[in-house]
Structure 1
Amino acid sequence: MSNISELQVQTALKEVQDPYLGKDLVGANEVKKIQVDGGRVQVDIELPYPSAGVKDKFAAEVSRRVQAIKGVEQVTVNVGHNIKAHQAQRGVKLLAGIKNIIAVASGKGGVGKSTTAVNLALALARDGARVGILDADIYGPSQPRMLGISGKPTSKDGKSIEPMENYGVKAMSIGFLIEEETAMVWRGPMVTQALEQLLNDTRWGELDYLVIDLPPGTGDTQLTLAQKIPVTGAVIVTTPQDIALLDARKGLKMFEKVGIPILGIVENMSFYICPKCGNEDDIFSHGGGERMAEQYDVDFLAAIPLDRRIRNEADGGKPTVVAEPDSRLAELYMELARHVAAKLAAQAVDFSHKFPNIVIQNK
């Protein structure tokens, strides 16, 4: 008769690390159930971020560790996820149905922010999350083309708009409402009003993450975002050269001032590998994003290479994560998404949606 204890199993699980949270499964509170029946052991693991792409790896490692316990004959491991709503900046309430809002920003244009944003959204969806993307660049919307979506959104009730959708991601952009070559000659107040309407009048449904692709800079759109939209965290995209880093620092400091957590920095166009000879070249310098992350004590999330395929696939309406799902480039975006989701999961949980509004009336 086997005398396996739950404590033995728990001790074995302390040897399994979650590389995205930087803790063991027990320390990260990811072990939800341990059941021992003779020589049979069942372990239920619940990750706080999308699990589809990593659950098999976790299950295999848990099974290996538990199987090593003397007397264990059979191990069953169930791995799932439970994505919670996390606190945004103080004084701004969460939006109904949207658990977390991720702002993807850059100090200047041309650093590949929109490409990073769309691949981040697609990667989160591929790992099993319910995801939307809001194209907040009113003057230069690019998400309709990148997602390969044409046509105009519809309205079922005449008041709200149904989001467009492709590759499992819901999307909204001013680009869906105007002709592609139409110039938006609008002043700041009109732009901010349009952004609020695109966000609030879209029937997003239930989302685990809404990725907001911001325009470059620190202007009216960013200020509206900080004051009126519950942003759970921001990702800063830069390239390695000094000019881009100067502007990226301004964006980072802006988010710090308004109390929006910085999830980390992505260094885009980090290096170039010649497709013919394989030689690696630092065209835009190297390591600037990593040094910036160290300077401001934030996470360095990813180094994305300068690769023609990334540009071609985004321009063609089928970004890298869906165009080449098994490629090294796609895996870089998948890892980026997991680190972003795990960084969010480590923040304080927002419980406000669980409590009803209390109204006191004098009669």
Structure 2
Amino acid sequence: MTTALTESAVRSALSRVEDPEIGKPITELNMVNTVEVDGQDVSVEILLTIAGCPMKNTIETNVRAAIEDIENVGQVNVTLGAMTDEQRLELKKQLRGSAQDPEIPFSKPDSTTRVFAVASGKGGVGKSSMTVNLAAALHAQGYKVGVVDADIYGHSVPGQLGSTAGPTVLDDEMLLPPIAHGIKHISIGQFVQGNAPIVWRGPMLHRALQQFLTDVFWGDLDFLLLDLPPGTGDVALSVAQLIPNAELLVVTTPQVAAAEVAERAGSIAQQTHQRVAGVIENMSAMVMPDGTTVDVFGSGGGQVVADRLTTLLGYEVEQLGQVPLEPGLRVDGDAGTPTVIAHPESAASKAITDVASKVAKRRISLAGKPLGLGVTSH
């Protein structure tokens, strides 16, 4: 005898489907508008946040799969609608919680998201490609990762992720970031026409970064990486002000001149009271087809920076890894797929994955954080 199908069983199945952009069950977000059961056949209407939601195909596929997984279900019909302005307003209130004004969730004492600002003293050392590939490596290890393209003038994160989608606009005060290769990301490049240059002064840069952190709903991230512009200018200072708990990852090449400049990027932590999480030496020795190596940019620069920062800051700054110089890393980035995804077996991918493991290894400290324990005096 076939067990009668119920609306409750369908809603229970749908509770396992998450909105990809928000990261919460669609039942919790009130996206399930109607559920109709006719014998063993099921018809549902799902309300998207906006009519042109870029993840609508994914949502429809996942909804259909969840219902079809119900035992003895018959025909499944999925209809997609869109929320009204009032429903979007309620959704925004639900996501923002009790906060009346936009705030930076990552700067709160109880935030469990580790924030890394990827910095370099000069351009051309592969800082952006390291940011994107580290994000991809962390995601591959099971973490929820977001990337802020804080290099406003030289934005490149969307291109390296192969992303052409813009954020989903809930209203003027809340955006849902696009997702590529499982990585949530935001960039000024998603708001300008074509390859138009950004000609802004410092206050505008600060405001843009602030909006990326407050107006974008990131959800529950394990890691947020910020791709900083080279040097120690306005954006680096804004990051220190807006997210004082952000740690620095310093990227350099083996070249002595690059190492000297990278040291300055790391030493800013002494003034901003941030912690340097480590140094990454990019464009290290190039492995030739016959197995020999060539130090195209010299050697030792990463360790020099780590040693100098250790002395300057008064605690051990580790060289987290040496990423070999490989044409494939550049080729994959130009094609829009991080090399750790496109060619995980390559030497560069293995080195970056090892750095990601070291970055993720440290447990979140409870020092200075409220434990929420009630104390009763007698």
- Confirm or deny a common fold (TM above 0.5): yes
**Is 1:261 aligned to 2:263, yes or no?**
no
Q: Please tell me the residue identity of whatever aligns with 2:308.
A: Q
**Is 1:284 aligned to 2:297, yes or no?**
yes
**Is 1:251 aligned to 2:272, yes or no?**
no
Question: What displacement does 1:98 show?
Answer: 5.8
Per-residue displacement from partner, 1:111-144 (whole Å, max 9, x unpaired)?
A: 0000001111111111111110000011010000
Partner of 1:322: 341
The 2-side partners of 1:236 and 1:354 are apart by 35
The change in CA–CA distance for 1:113 and 1:273 in structure 2 (over 3 A counts) is same
Count of paired positions? 263
The 2-side partners of 1:254 and 1:355 are apart by 37
The change in CA–CA distance for 1:116 and 1:187 in structure 2 (over 3 A counts) is same
The 1-side partners of 2:168 and 2:146 are apart by 17
**Is 1:233 aligned to 2:252, yes or no?**
no
| Percent identity over paired residues | 40
The 2-side partners of 1:119 and 1:349 are apart by 30
The 2-side partners of 1:350 and 1:308 are apart by 45
* Contact 1:155 1:161 (C-alpha < 8 Å) held by counterparts: yes
The 1-side partners of 2:176 and 2:280 are apart by 31
Specify every segment of 5 or more residues in structure 1 that has no aligned partner in the other structure, as ranges. Answer: 1-91, 357-363
What is the TM-score when the length of structure 1 is the normalising length?
0.68
The change in CA–CA distance for 1:355 and 1:221 in structure 2 (over 3 A counts) is farther
Partner of 1:178: 192
Out of 190, 193, 204, the position equivalent to 1:190 is: 204
Question: What displacement does 1:180 show?
Answer: 3.8
Partner of 2:63: none
Q: Please tell me the residue identity of whatever aligns with 2:233.
A: G
The change in CA–CA distance for 1:165 and 1:352 in structure 2 (over 3 A counts) is farther
Out of 369, 372, 376, the position equivalent to 1:351 is: 369
**Which fold has the larger relative contact order, with Cα–Cα distance below 8 Å and residues 6 or more apart in sequence?**
1
Question: What displacement does 1:205 show?
Answer: 0.7
What is the TM-score when the length of structure 2 is the normalising length?
0.66
The 2-side partners of 1:225 and 1:289 are apart by 24
Tell which deviates more after alignment, 157-166 or 233-242.
157-166
Question: What displacement does 1:292 show?
Answer: 2.3
What SS is found at the alignment partner of 1:318? coil
The 2-side partners of 1:280 and 1:231 are apart by 39
Q: Please tell me the residue identity of whatever aligns with 1:266.
A: I
The 2-side partners of 1:172 and 1:353 are apart by 32
Question: What displacement does 1:151 show?
Answer: 2.6
* Contact 1:94 1:230 (C-alpha < 8 Å) held by counterparts: no
Partner of 1:342: 361
The 1-side partners of 2:150 and 2:348 are apart by 26
Per-residue displacement from partner, 1:22-63 (whole Å, max 9, x unpaired)?
A: xxxxxxxxxxxxxxxxxxxxxxxxxxxxxxxxxxxxxxxxxx
User: How does 1:1-363 map onto structure 2 within 5 Å?
Assistant: 93-94=107-108, 99-275=113-289, 277-297=290-310, 298-343=317-362, 345=363, 347=365, 349=367, 351-352=369-370
Runs of 4+ in 1 over 3 A off after TM superposition: 95-98, 346-350, 352-356
Aligned CA-pair RMSD:
2.1
The 1-side partners of 2:210 and 2:127 are apart by 21
* Contact 1:113 1:237 (C-alpha < 8 Å) held by counterparts: yes
* Contact 1:97 1:206 (C-alpha < 8 Å) held by counterparts: no
The 2-side partners of 1:174 and 1:287 are apart by 35
Question: What displacement does 1:161 show?
Answer: 0.8
Partner of 1:72: none
The change in CA–CA distance for 1:189 and 1:272 in structure 2 (over 3 A counts) is same
The change in CA–CA distance for 1:93 and 1:243 in structure 2 (over 3 A counts) is same
Partner of 2:24: none
Per-residue displacement from partner, 1:216-238 (whole Å, max 9, x unpaired)?
A: 01001011111122433111000
The change in CA–CA distance for 1:308 and 1:354 in structure 2 (over 3 A counts) is farther
Question: What displacement does 1:96 show?
Answer: 8.0
Tell which deviates more after alignment, 156-165 or 197-206.
156-165
Question: What displacement does 1:294 show?
Answer: 2.3
Partner of 1:85: none
* Contact 2:258 2:301 (C-alpha < 8 Å) held by counterparts: no
What SS is found at the alignment partner of 1:292? helix
* Contact 1:217 1:251 (C-alpha < 8 Å) held by counterparts: yes
The change in CA–CA distance for 1:112 and 1:354 in structure 2 (over 3 A counts) is farther
Per-residue displacement from partner, 1:57-106 (whole Å, max 9, x unpaired)?
A: xxxxxxxxxxxxxxxxxxxxxxxxxxxxxxxxxxx932886621111100
The 2-side partners of 1:126 and 1:107 are apart by 29
Specify every segment of 5 or more residues in structure 2 that has no aligned partner in the other structure, as ranges. Answer: 1-105, 311-316
The 2-side partners of 1:202 and 1:294 are apart by 37
